[in-house]
Amino acid sequence: MRNLKLIISREYLARVRNKTFIVMTFLSPLIFVGMIMLIGYLSMLNSTDQKIIGIHDDTGIFAEEFKDGEQVQYLDLSEKDLQLARTQVLENEYFGLIHISPLNSISGKPDTIEFFGKETPGFGTIENIEKTISDKLTRKQLIDKGIDVSEIDKARADVSVDIQNFSGEKSSKMSNYIKMFFGGAAGYLLMMFIIIYGNMVMRSVIEEKTNRIIEIIVSSVKPFQLLLGKVLGTSLAGLTQFVVWVILGSALLLGLSTFLGIDPMAAQTPATMAMENAGNPKINQLVIDILKLPYASLLSFFVIYFIGGYFLYSSVYAAIGAAVDSETDTQQFMFPVILPLILGIYVGFFSVVENPHGTVSTIFSFIPFTSPIVMLMRIPFGVPWYEILISIIILIGTNFAVLWLSAKIYRVGILMYGKKPSYKELYKWLKY
Amino acid sequence: MDNLLVAENVYKRFGKFTALNDVSLSIPRGSIFGLLGPNGAGKTTFLRIINQITMPDEGKVYLDGKPLHPDDIAHIGYLPEERGLYKSMKVGEQALYLARLKGLSKAEAKERLKYWFEKLEIEEWWDKKIQELSKGMAQKVQFVITVLHRPKLLIFDEPFSGFDPVNANLIKDEILQLREEGATILFSTHRMESVEELCDYIALIHKSNKLLDGPINEIKKAYTSNTFEIGLETADKNALYADLQSKFEVGPAKYKSIQDDLKLTIKVGEKDDSNELLRYLLSQAKVNHFVEVIPSVNDIFIKTVTQNA
């Protein structure tokens, strides 16, 4: 126990004193906050920048349908000759020109609808143009056939399903987005941490091997103690970094946003949508939804799954580090390690979003190599306690098994030099 | 005899490869014991077993009469052949860490380190990082770390590799000093000069088997062949040589001298015949050189290894 403590504190200090670690710990929140600020600033700039689009409408019925918006202003150039209109658009550096040809007497539609522009317009712009014209055309054709359009308008109904669980808790589509956002962020963060800190463990094992200090140390402590101390010490460094990030990040974000008067939330879609609908009762619902998220459980499960997932992967990383002589040899073993993590993220972003309690999501939240990520993404949607319990028990059980196997490879590998390890070789080591 | 370390019938296999095959050794207390063998003979595996880094498949190892126990780590100091230190850690901090892993308290470790650093005149290295030191300098630090906890048994695997002659001598003197203070020293090397100079006992391991062991003098005695190296000053070398050849078993001699002598070796039947031989030689010529040929450890090593190849 005494030696384990010594090892943990050495490993912790070695990580924390590392220059890259210090720079990353203190620079990352700055970069992160800076990016959010930049995005917020740019999106504010963007909204003041108005595009002008000219319309040359040969039919004379569509031009008035294009309504000026916050970002686009339409200019009716139908009176002019098409060639003249084009020159005017070009000379005044308008964004583009829409040309609608006369209606075809047989199909009742314009033969061609064209857009001229220096730059290719975005999807949104084109979609808006198409929708405007097709709406008008549909109405015109309905009226031509003698159908009362106002009746249709009356008959059209906006539907929004109120989602509610049996205990009477209401949720909305919006709150589902929020849950997705928080779950996804937690899962993604976890993956990043596992990869970054797993790699740190691996590098530190390789360092001890290449420095040839390993034999001096294992003549004083058991290899397993060293392995455990290394994994624990590095995880403490990870938690330190995480805490510094959270504190520094939120302080910076708060300070800067009040100082510059930029709302950092403007960069996030749900919030932007909410701002546009100011006064809408939906915002209140949004705020309530955000506040209603189970933060306490989300945070505590994040820590539990972080520790579980990190331990699982870093013991594998340590075994890989012990098996090789230099970092360049690790490539062949890296892929099988990263694969389940990426799979977890994919399952999370596709399957969980689609159906948080479906078979695929449920199974992957039990498989220990993906469960930390997938379960974290599911938790905001509400997962029965027994499912979480089963998943955590499987994770812990696998941790012991993997740690045991890794320790065996580690024990042999750290004293093995100059042997190019293959999977077959590793299997042999398990039996020594 | 009082043995500090006894290994009984130790076997170690890695898969199909046998690294140690029925090796038994006894290391007398207070001795300097040389463990010899070509590369890959199994020396390092044996040392790792003593250090409990690997476990023997069969056989027992006793320290101080008791089976080896994990706590015995504190009584053993090991300087492995593959040795190094953390490159980016400061010398003092690193030495403290390794000393504490051996069970010393922080204060105790600091005090002893100060003593050793002063003794070896390396105090100014305390705050330097290992990567700023030369290889020889780092070796000195490793030596200090190995002996710091005053172990009963000191194990050095190729201790002099990487040292310049001045520092090698310094370390040699320190090792002898440690023996004076009561430590038992186990040496593993294939540098025979240092064995010749330091060891009281040797054991030879070749291809996983122990070929011979015992006090170095007895082994040498067993390998002597009553052969004498002779240098004779005479007017007619050829006549004398022909005469001696007819009376004794004569061979060539390779020693160096400044005289223009007739050099040869003569083998006699028994050791006591040497006086007779000398008497005869004196009657024939002026004897400038007369030495019994004692095999060097190197000769014994090569002879035994090639015999068992």
pLDDT digit string, tens, across residues A21-34 = 899 888 888 887 78
Cβ contact, residue pair B82, A215, below 8 Å: yes
Cβ contact, residue pair A215, B80, below 8 Å: yes
pLDDT in tens, B190-245: 777 788 888 899 999 988 899 888 998 898 888 888 888 888 888 888 888 888 88
Residue A202 has pLDDT above 70, yes or no: yes
pLDDT in tens, A51-80: 788 888 888 778 777 877 767 788 888 878
pLDDT in tens, A420-432: 777 877 887 777 6
Confidence of residue A164 (pLDDT cuts 50, 70, 90): low
Contacts of B89 in chain A (CB under 8 A): 14
CA Rg value for chain A:
30
- Which pair of tokens denotes residue A182? 């928080």
What proportions of chain B, in percent to the nearest 5, are helix, strand and coil? Answer: 40, 30, 30
Contacts of B86 in chain A (CB under 8 A): 14, 207-208, 211, 213
Q: Quick one: what percent of chain A has pLDDT higher than 90?
A: 17
Q: Check whether residue B163 and residue B261 sit in a common domain.
A: no
Q: Quick one: what percent of chain B has pLDDT higher than 90?
A: 29
Q: Check whether residue B43 and residue B173 sit in a common domain.
A: yes
Q: Which residues of A touch B (CB under 8 A)?
A: 3, 6-7, 10, 14, 207-208, 211-213, 215-223, 415, 417, 428, 431-432
> Is B305 within the bounds of a domain?
no
Which residues of B, range 29-88, sit inside 8 Å of A by Cβ?
Answer: 48, 51, 53-54, 70, 73, 76, 78-80, 82-88
Quote the domain boundaries for residue B138. 3-221
pLDDT, greater one: A127 or A124: A127
Which DSSP string corresponds to A210-270? HTT-HHHHHTTS-HHHHHHHHHHHHHHHHHHHHHHHHHHHHHHHHHHHHHHT--GGGGSHH
Pick from A3, A211, A428: CB nearest B85:
A211
Q: Check whether residue B12 and residue B143 sit in a common domain.
A: yes
- Which pair of tokens denotes residue A126? 């084109």
Q: What is the pLDDT of residue B221?
A: 86
Pick from A208, A219, A432: CB nearest B73:
A219
Q: Check whether residue B176 and residue B73 sit in a common domain.
A: yes
Q: What is the pLDDT of residue A314?
A: 92
Domain A50-154 CATH assignment equals 3.40.190.10: yes
Q: What is the pLDDT of residue A277?
A: 44
Q: What is the pLDDT of residue A271?
A: 44
Which of A9, A20, A213 is most worth mutating to test chain B (most B CB atoms within 10 A of its CB)? A213
Which residues of B, range 10-29, sit inside 8 Å of A by Cβ?
Answer: 14-15
Task: Quote the mean pLDDT of chain B.
Answer: 88
Residue A118 φ/ψ, nearest 5 degrees: -70, -40
Q: Check whether residue B189 and residue B62 sit in a common domain.
A: yes
Contacts of B135 in chain A (CB under 8 A): none
Which of B51, B82, B105, B131 is most worth mutating to test chain A (most A CB atoms within 10 A of its CB)? B82
Q: What is the pLDDT of residue B95?
A: 92
CB pairs under 8 A between A and B: 62
Q: CA–CA separation, B75 vs B63, rounded Å?
A: 9
Cβ contact, residue pair B84, A212, below 8 Å: yes
Q: Looking at the DSSP assignment, which residues form a beta bridge with residue B205?
A: B210
Q: Is B142 on the interface with A (CB under 8 A)?
A: yes
Nearest alpha carbon to residue B189 among B38, B19, B25: B38
Q: What is the pLDDT of residue A280?
A: 53
CA closest to B51 among chain A residues: A219
Q: CA–CA separation, A298 vs A251, rounded Å?
A: 21
Tell me the nearest-neighbour CA distance from A408 into chain B, angstroms: 12
Nearest alpha carbon to residue A302 among A244, A242, A362, A348: A242
Q: What is the pLDDT of residue B71?
A: 86
Contact B183, B4 (CB under 8 A): no
Cβ contact, residue pair B76, A216, below 8 Å: no
Q: Check whether residue B46 and residue B179 sit in a common domain.
A: yes
Cβ contact, residue pair A6, B97, below 8 Å: yes
Pick from A6, A219, A223: CB nearest B100:
A6
> Is B308 within the bounds of a domain?
no
Q: Check whether residue B61 and residue B170 sit in a common domain.
A: yes
Cβ-based neighbours of B270, under 8 Å, separated by 6 or more = B226
Q: What is the pLDDT of residue B309?
A: 67
Q: Check whether residue B160 and residue B229 sit in a common domain.
A: no
Cβ contact, residue pair B84, A211, below 8 Å: yes
Q: Check whether residue B53 and residue B69 sit in a common domain.
A: yes
Q: Per-domain residue ranges for chain A?
A: 50-154, 172-431
Enumerate long-range contacts of A332-336, CB under 8 Å, 24 or more apart. none
Cβ contact, residue pair B73, A217, below 8 Å: no
Residue A195 has pLDDT above 80, yes or no: yes
From first CA to last CA, the distance across chain A in angstroms is 26
Domain boundary among the residues B181, B202, B221 is at B221
State the virtual CA torsion across A163, A165, A171, A172 in degrees, nearest 10.
Answer: -20
Pick from A10, A223, A428: CB nearest B97:
A10
Query: How confident is the model over A286-307, as a mean pLDDT?
Result: 74
Q: CA–CA separation, A53 vs B64, rounded Å?
A: 97
Residue A173 φ/ψ, nearest 5 degrees: -60, -40
pLDDT in tens, A311-335: 999 999 999 999 888 888 888 888 8
Domain boundary among the residues B199, B221, B243 is at B221
Contact B97, B109 (CB under 8 A): no
Contacts of B139 in chain A (CB under 8 A): none
pLDDT, greater one: B49 or A121: B49
Pick from B48, B54, B85: CB nearest A213:
B85
Contacts of B70 in chain A (CB under 8 A): 222
Q: What is the ipTM of this complex?
A: 0.80
Confidence of residue A121 (pLDDT cuts 50, 70, 90): confident
Tell me the nearest-neighbour CA distance from B144 into chain A, angstroms: 12
Tell me the nearest-neighbour CA distance from B46 into chain A, angstroms: 13
Q: What is the pLDDT of residue A6?
A: 93
CA closest to B56 among chain A residues: A432
Q: In what order do the strands lie in the sheet with B286-292?
A: B249-251, B262-267, B227-233, B286-292
Query: How confident is the model over A334-350, as a mean pLDDT?
Result: 89
Task: Quote the mean pLDDT of chain A.
Answer: 81
Q: Report the predicted TM-score, pTM, of the whole model to 2 decimal places.
A: 0.75
CA closest to B15 among chain A residues: A432
CA distances from A240 to A25, A247, A281, B34, B135 (A): 9, 11, 41, 50, 36
- Which pair of tokens denotes residue A384? 């029965």
Cβ contact, residue pair A3, B89, below 8 Å: no
Q: What is the pLDDT of residue A269?
A: 45
Pick from B14, B83, B100: CB nearest A215:
B83
Q: What is the pLDDT of residue B73?
A: 86
pLDDT in tens, A241-282: 888 887 887 788 777 767 766 554 544 444 444 444 444 555
Taking the CA atoms of A280, A282, A283 and A284 in sequence, report the sign of the dihedral they define.
positive
Pick from A212, A215, A217: CB nearest B101:
A217
Domain boundary among the residues B177, B200, B221 is at B221
Q: What is the pLDDT of residue A333?
A: 86
- The answer for B213, left when phi > 0, alpha when psi is -120 to 50, beta otherwise, is beta
Contacts of B14 in chain A (CB under 8 A): 432
Which DSSP string corresponds to B37-52? --TTSSHHHHHHHHTT
CA closest to A204 among chain B residues: B86
Give the angle B260-B264-B266 at the CA atoms, nearest 5°.
150
Residue A4 has pLDDT above 80, yes or no: yes
Q: Check whether residue B193 and residue B238 sit in a common domain.
A: no
What CATH number does the domain containing B274 carry? 3.30.70
Cβ contact, residue pair B82, A222, below 8 Å: no
Contacts of B83 in chain A (CB under 8 A): 212-213, 215-216
Residue type at position A350: F
Residue B104 has pLDDT above 80, yes or no: yes
Q: Check whether residue B123 and residue B207 sit in a common domain.
A: yes
Q: Check whether residue B23 and residue B96 sit in a common domain.
A: yes
Residue B19 has pLDDT above 60, yes or no: yes
Which of A216, A225, A226, A415 is most worth mutating to test chain B (most B CB atoms within 10 A of its CB)? A216
pLDDT, greater one: A394 or B158: A394
Q: How many domains does chain B have?
A: 2
Nearest alpha carbon to residue A59 among A115, A116, A98, A94: A98
Nearest alpha carbon to residue A341 among A360, A363, A304, A367: A367
Contacts of B88 in chain A (CB under 8 A): 14
Cβ contact, residue pair A219, B80, below 8 Å: yes
pLDDT in tens, B246-283: 888 888 888 888 878 888 888 887 766 788 888 888 88
Pick from B15, B70, B82: CB nearest A212:
B82
Confidence of residue A96 (pLDDT cuts 50, 70, 90): confident
Which of A211, A219, A221, A425 is most worth mutating to test chain B (most B CB atoms within 10 A of its CB)? A219
Which of B45, B101, B149 is most worth mutating to test chain A (most A CB atoms within 10 A of its CB)? B101
Query: How confident is the model over A188-205, as a mean pLDDT?
Result: 90
